[in-house]
Chain A
Amino acid sequence: MEASLLRTRRERAGGRAGLGILSGPAHNAAVSEPFLDEVKRYLLWTDADADALRDAHQALAPQLSEVIDIHYLRIVEHEDARRVLTGGEPQIARLRRTFETWLHQCFLGPHDHAYLELRSRIGHAHVRIGLPQRYMITSIGIMRSALRPLVESLIAAERRAATHVAIDKVLALDLTIMLEAYQNDTLDKLARNERLATLGQIGASIGHELRNPLGVISSSAYLLRKSVANDARAARHVTKIEHHVELANRSIADLLALVREVPPTLESLPASALVHEAIEAAALPASVRVSVGAADTSVRADRGQTVQALRNLLANAAEAMRGSGAIDVTIEPDGDAVEIHVDDAGPGFTREMLGRAFEPLVTTKSGGVGLGLPLVRRLVERQGGKVRAINRPGGGARLTLRLTAAQNGPGHHP
C-alpha cells in the first residue's frame, strides 16, 4: 500500500493501461521518490517553515490539547461523523493519543519520507473505516481555525505571520498526502472492479456452460436413485452426488446473480417474514440453531433479493461456526431505516478481513471462492440499503443489513 502511494498519477495510468485480466494492477511498480518533493516545491516549503514550526511548538505545546478537544468534540457532536466511531470511549481515548502524536509531529517534523509514510497510513486508515474524504478536508480547516487564536496569543508579534504561513503549509501538506491515499484507494478499487467485471462475464458464461452437465448429472442421479433403492451404499453415494450438485448449482446461481443486473421491485414487507423465509430457504443443518428477536416493523425492499441476501448471511454464519452453534437474528428499527443483524458464534473476522468482508474473491473458507457476501452487498445496495460487518465485543461476527423502513409504519403493509 505504502509503495503504491508514492507512485505518481502518470505511472498509475501506465500501470492500468497494461492491466492484464488476471494479473491486475501492477502493485509492485517501482516506488517513485518525487511525490513529497513535488508537493513541497508547489507549497514553496522552505527550511524556514520547518524552523518556524519547531520554534512555535515550544509556545503552543501546552495548549495543543485544546485543539484535540475541538477535533473530537466536533466528531461526537456530529451525527454522521460519529457513526464511524464504533468503539466507544476506549476508542476515542486511543485515537486522541494517536492524534496528539500526529499534531506534535506536524510541528516537530522532520518532514521527510517517514513523515510521508505515516500520513499515508493515516489516510488509508480513514479509507478503511469508510470516512468520506470531505471530513478530512473539513477537519483540516477546523485545525487551522483552532490553531489561529493560539498563535495570536502565544507567539511573539514579529514571528506570527511566518508561523501562520508555516502552519497553513504543513496542514496543506498533510491533507495532500492523506487525500492521495484516498485517491489511490479509489483507483485501486476501480481497477479491481474493472477486472471483476471482466472476470464476472467470463465466470457467468462458464457458469452457464456448467449448468448443462450439472443438469444431466442430477437427472441421472434421480433415475439412478430408483434403481439402487435396495443398495444402501449406492444410495448413500447418490445422495452425495445430489448434495454436491446442489452446492455447485448454488455457487453458479450466486455468481450469475452477482453479474446480472435485476432491478429491484420495492414493496412494504414485514422484516420478520423476510427473515423467516430466508431461514427456511437456507436449509441449515440441524446443528445450527437460529433465534429471531423480531420487532414488528416493515421494510421497503425487494422480497426475492432480500431473502437471498439474508439466506447468504445465514449460510455464511453457519459456515463461520463450522456447521454448529447458535445464530441470533435481531431486527432493530433505527430512524428511517431498519437494521437486521445476523450474529454468529464463530471466530469473528481478522482485522485484515474486517474491512474487506464484502469484497469479491476474498474468503477465509477452504472451499468456495467468496461470492456469498459480495452478492449480499450487491443485492442490498441495489435497493438503496447498506451492509456492515463488525466483530462483536463478546466474540463472533455481526453482519448487518440496513434497509429503508416502510413509510406507513409497522404493521401496515398493502
Chain B
Amino acid sequence: MSVVLIVDDNTPLAEDLAEILADAGHRTETACSGEDAIRRVLRGGIDILVLDLRMPGMGGIEALRRLRQTGVSVPAIAMTAFADEATKVHGIEAGIRAVLDKPVDYARLETLINQIAA
C-alpha cells in the first residue's frame, strides 16, 4: 500500500482529496505548505506526492526542487489553477508525472495514483 502526501494550502481540499484516495485504498497524509511537505517527506515513508504548484510561501515547484537537491526522488503529481503554469512546468521537474488542472478531475487523479503505485 502506497502512502500519498497531499500538499495544498486549501486544507479542506487536501483533506477531501485524501479521503477520495483513501476510498481508493491508499494511505494518505496532508500538508499545507511547501516547507511542511519537505519536513514530512524527509522523515521518510512517503511514496507519492500530490502537490499544488502555487501556495503562499514556498510553492510546489520550489519544494520539489529542494527535495531533488537532497537526493529525494518521490514521484509527484502537480495541481494548478493557472492554465499557463501547467504548460510551463511540464517536463521541467524530473519526477513530475502529470500536471492536473484545478478543479481536479478526481477519477483521473485516482487512475494516476493507481498507475504510479502499481
Query: With a CB–CB cut-off of 8 A, which chain A residues contact B84?
Result: 260, 262
**Chain A 216-255 per-residue mask, 1 if CB under 8 angstroms from chain B, else 0:** 1011101100100000000000000000010001000100
In the complex the two chains form, is A216's CB within 8 Å of B16's CB? Answer: yes
Chain B: minimal CB distance from A159 (Å): 70
Chain B residue at minimum C-beta to C-beta distance from A211: B81
Given contacts A212-B10, A215-B104, A249-B103, are A223 and B81 in contact (CB under 8 A)?
A: no
CB distance from B50 to the nearest CB of A (A): 12
The answer to whether A214 touches B103 (Cβ under 8 A) is yes
Contact between A216 and B19, CB atoms less than 8 A apart: no
* Residue among B20, B83, B102 making CB contact with A223, cutoff 8 Å: B20
B108 to chain A, nearest CB (A): 12
A115-135 residues at the B interface, CB under 8 angstroms? none
Max chain B Cβ within 10 angstroms of own Cβ: one of A215, A226, A257: A215
Instruction: Give the complex CA separation of A103 and B81 in angstroms.
Output: 59
A293 to chain B, nearest CB (A): 31
Interface flag for A208 (CB, 8 Å): yes
In the complex, the answer to whether B104 meets A219 with C-beta atoms within 8 Å is yes
The residue in chain B whose Cβ has the minimal distance to the Cβ of A220 is B16
Q: Which of B23, B81, B103 contacts A218 (CB 8 A)?
A: B103
- State how many angstroms separate the Cβ of A371 from the closest Cβ of chain B: 16
Q: Are A226 and B23 in contact (CB under 8 A)?
A: yes
Shortest Cβ distance from A263 into B: residue? B84
Interface size class of B (residues with CB under 8 A): 10 to 19
Residue B12 interfacial (CB < 8 Å): yes
> What total count of A-B pairs have CB within 8 Å?
40
- How far is the CB of B97 from the nearest CB of chain A, in Å? 21
| In the complex, B13 has a CB within 8 A of chain A | yes
Query: Are B13 and A219 in contact, CB atoms less than 8 angstroms apart?
Result: yes
Residues of chain B in range 93-118 having any CB-CB distance to chain A below 8 Å? 102-104, 106
CA A253 – CA B20 in complex, angstroms? 25
Sorting the interface of chain A by its residue count into under 10, 10 to 19, 20 to 34 or 35 or more gives 10 to 19
**Per-position 1/0 for A48-64, Cβ under 8 A of B:** 00000000000000000
Evaluate contact between A216 and B20: CB separation under 8 angstroms.
Answer: no
**Is the pair A219, B102 in contact by a Cβ cutoff of 8 Å?**
no
Taking CB atoms, residues of chain A closer than 8 Å to B16 are 216, 219-220, 222-223
Taking a contact as CB atoms under 8 Å apart, the answer to whether A215 and B20 are in contact is: no
Inter-chain contacts of B12 with A (CB < 8 A): 216, 220
Closest A residue to B22 by CB, please name it.
Answer: A223
A257 CA / B81 CA spacing, docked (Å): 12
Q: A211-B81, A216-B16 are in contact. Are A222 and B106 (CB under 8 A)?
A: yes
* Neighbouring B residues of A218 by C-beta, 8 Å: 103
Residues 160-190 of chain A, each 1 if its beta carbon lies under 8 Å from chain B, else 0: 0000000000000000000000000000000
Q: Which of B10, B13, B83, B102 has the most CB of A within 10 A?
A: B13
- B17 is an interface residue with CB less than 8 A from chain A: yes
A175 to B58 CA separation, bound complex (whole angstroms)? 61
Within the complex, what minimum Cβ distance (angstroms) separates A226 from chain B? 7
CB neighbours (8 Å) of A226 from chain B are 23
Tell me the residues in window 186-208 of chain A with beta carbons closer than 8 Å to chain B beta carbons.
208
Closest-CB distance, B30 to chain A (whole angstroms): 13
Q: Which residue of chain B lies nearest to A207 when distances are taken between CB atoms in the complex?
A: B81
Q: For residue B23, which residues in chain A have a CB less than 8 angstroms away from its CB?
A: 223, 226
Q: CA separation between A353 and B23, bound complex, in Å? A: 51
Do A216 and B10 touch (CB < 8 A)?
A: yes
Which residue, of A214, A215, A219, A253, has the highest number of chain B Cβ atoms within 10 A? A219
A215 adjacent to B103 (CB under 8 Å): yes
> Within the complex, which residue of A211, A216, A219, A257 is in contact with B106, where a contact is CB–CB below 8 Å?
A219
A270 to B29, CA, bound (A): 47
Given A211-B102, A223-B19, do A216 and B13 touch, yes or no (CB 8 Å)? Answer: yes
Closest Cβ of chain B to A205, distance in Å, is: 12
Q: A215-B13, A219-B106, A222-B20 are in contact. List 20 more A-B contacts (CB 8 A).
A: A208-B81, A211-B102, A211-B103, A212-B10, A215-B10, A215-B103, A216-B10, A216-B12, A218-B103, A219-B16, A219-B20, A219-B104, A220-B12, A222-B16, A222-B106, A223-B16, A223-B19, A223-B20, A245-B103, A262-B83
> Which 5 pairs from chain A and chain B are nearest by CB?
A219-B16, A216-B12, A212-B10, A215-B13, A222-B106
Q: Name 28 interchain pairs, CB-CB below 8 A, sorted by A.
A: A211-B102, A212-B10, A212-B13, A214-B103, A215-B102, A216-B10, A216-B12, A216-B13, A216-B16, A218-B103, A219-B16, A219-B17, A219-B20, A219-B106, A220-B16, A222-B20, A222-B106, A223-B16, A223-B19, A223-B20, A223-B23, A245-B103, A249-B103, A253-B83, A257-B83, A260-B84, A262-B83, A262-B84
- Residues of chain A at the chain B interface (Cβ within 8 Å): 208, 211-212, 214-216, 218-220, 222-223, 226, 245, 249, 253, 257, 260, 262
